[in-house]
Amino acid sequence: MSESYIQIRGVSKVFPDARHGDVVALKDIDLDIRRGEFVCLLGPSGCGKSTLLNAIAGFSLPTAGTITVDGRLVRAPGPERGMVFQEYAVFPWMTVAKNIAFGLEIQNTPKAAVRERVDALLAKLQLTEFRDRYPKDLSGGMRQRVAIARVLALDPPVMLMDEPFGALDALTRRTLQDELLRIWGELRKTVIFVTHSIEESVYLADRTVVMTYRPGTIKRDIPISLARGRDPNSHAFNDVKKEFAQLVMEEQQRHQQDEIRAAIAD
């Protein structure tokens, strides 16, 4: 498969736990992602979607199997795989502009080039008025814009997004989703986007990978053929949503039963 840009082969991740027995978070995951593709990892909490993302990012390597990006084995975190986190991970002690410049400055990029790049990103993400503000003065949506800009500053070919809009209200969420699609359309990044929102995955992805609850495996890998500029109120959109909902709810049921079992066992 020469098309495959990110290759995940036989990836498993076991978290040792002496008291309750080891947790198999991921089991034998095989996944290929093409360059420029927008892929969603979808599933209930505990299905290992964030674990898989962290493995691709290089934060927490798999216990078995390999992950390669553009032919290179993932061994550690790196700026070519930019991560946007669920929690607000922008540095609160730096201004918006400083946050965006951080990755460039540690590469010793010349000052003028940093400034030019930061200005362009501030404009792209509509943050220009906030350039000298600290994150504490920003809304959740604005902070995630900064987080996206900070990652884009290094122009990574791959963007990893871990439920980045999960904490936002519905309207802000939609605005940022549209913004992300615009940026993705413009820059053609490969995006791996973790979410537990069925609608979000149908709205954003070229392809959605539905994962099973413990052990985390791939339940279904479904391309979404809806044309871009998707209308969440259309029949076609809702048909896809229903199909996904059924798959995800089966796993959610297993998650719930497991929680009840654990509560009884305690």
Partner 1 sequence: MNGRLRGFRFLQGAIVPLAVLVLWHGLAVSGMVSPLILPSPWAVLRKWIEYISPHAPFDPAQMSYAAWLISGELPHDAYASLHRVLSGFFIGAVLALPLGLLMGASDTVYKLFNPLIQVLRPIPPIAFIPLAILWFGLGNPPAVFLITIGAFFPILMNTIAGVRHVDAIYIRAAQNLGAGRWTLFRHVMLPAASPYILAGARIGIGTAFIVVIVAEMIAVNSGLGYRILEAREFFWSDKIIAGMISIGLLGLAIDTGMNRLNNYLLKWHRGIGN
Shortest separation between residue 243's beta carbon and partner 1, angstroms: 34
149 binds partner 1 (CB under 8 A): no
Asked if 143 and 85 touch (Cβ cutoff 8 Å), the reply is: no
Angle between the N-to-C axes of helices 140-152 and 96-105, in degrees from 0 to 180, rounded to the nearest 10? 20
What letter represents residue 206's amino acid?
D
**Scanning residues 57 to 116, which ones bind partner 1 (CB under 8 A)?**
57, 59, 76-79, 81-83, 85, 87, 89-94, 102-103, 106-107
Nearer to partner 1, 65 or 135 (CB): 135
Q: According to CB under 8 A, which residues from 114 to 143 bind partner 1?
A: 134-136
Shortest Å, Cβ 183 to partner 1: 18
Q: Using alpha carbons, select from 104, 85, 86 the residue that is nearest to residue 94.
A: 104
Region binding partner 1 by CB under 8 A among candidate stretches 14-22, 65-73, 149-157, 194-202: 149-157
Residue 127 backbone phi and psi in degrees, to 5? -115, 5
Residues 135/137/139/141 CA torsion (nearest 10 deg): -30
Query: How far is it, in rounded angstroms, from Cα 72 to Cα 1?
Result: 15
Return the number of the residue (154 or 187) whose C-beta is nearest partner 1.
Answer: 154
Closest CB 59 distance from partner 1, rounded Å:
6
Q: Which is nearer to partner 1, 67 or 89 (CB)?
A: 89
Cβ atoms 218, 251 nearer than 8 A: no
Nearest distance from C-beta of residue 88 to partner 1, angstroms: 8
Tokens 């413990």 belong to residue = 214
**Residue from 13, 27, 124, 150 that binds partner 1 (CB under 8 A)?**
150
CB of 158 to partner 1, least distance (A): 11
Rounded Cα distance, 60 and 12, in Å: 12
> Which tokens sit at 59?
């934060």
Smallest gap from residue 193 Cβ to partner 1 (A): 16
29: left (phi over 0), alpha (psi -120 to 50) or beta: beta
- In the complex, the residues that contact partner 1 under the rule CB under 8 A are 57, 59, 76-79, 81-83, 85, 87, 89-94, 102-103, 106-107, 134-136, 150-151, 154
